[in-house]
Structure 1
């Protein structure tokens, strides 16, 4: 073990502790620290915001100096959204989106 290894282990330990506190904090201290109603209402939108933050950069890739670039994945996603609005069936959304992407890649790729 080298002399500078303590820094790495301390950083890992502190990050693990911070992760544990933030994840388990509301289960442990939830009764003693109730959330305000405004914050509770805002937290209902957190899953949709996280999903949007994951999906949108993949559908609209960003190139430096150019901006958002059109991609076939965006068209396939729009097909999947249209199928969902028509049928409300999650399996058909996946199948139609992938079929549209494969067909578009075959036709234009």
Structure 2
């Protein structure tokens, strides 16, 4: 077990260096490496794409070859979408979606 310590510490050190280089690299060299307009337009959609990639598999956990099953998470997400379309207020969407989820969990048999 003790022989793993240098390996683990080395891995942590290398990952730290990689994180610093990749995150700070553009901040330090960004003036010398300008982005094209196409890349700038594409990067505007990165946060939305990341959210979709995280939320959709959690809300709609479909298995290949089976029929989709909607549970409390999917219904609460639909409530959140409807609240967003109605109010355009992020706090109302989060609060209303969570309230709908908690109420559905209390009532809906799992």
**TM-score normalized with structure 1 length:** 0.82
**TM-score normalized with structure 2 length:** 0.81
Q: Is the 8 A contact 1:61 1:71 kept in 2?
A: no
For 2:102 and 2:33, the matched residues in 1 are separated by 50
Structure 1, residues 16-73: CA drift from partner, whole Å, max 9, x if none? 1110011000110111111222111111111111111121121012447647542211
CA RMSD of aligned residues (A): 2.3
Superposed counterparts of 1:27-106, under 5 Å = 27-63=27-63, 66=66, 68-106=68-106
Q: How many residues align?
A: 109
Structure 1, residues 81-106: CA drift from partner, whole Å, max 9, x if none? 11111111223212321222223223
Where does the alignment leave 5 or more consecutive residues of structure 2 unmatched? Answer: none
The 3-state SS of whatever aligns with 2:70 is coil
> CA offset at residue 4 of structure 1?
5.0
For 2:31 and 2:46, the matched residues in 1 are separated by 22
Partner of 1:15: 15
Could you say if the C-alpha distance between residues 32 and 70 of structure 1 is closer, same or farther in structure 2, counting changes exceeding 3 Å? same
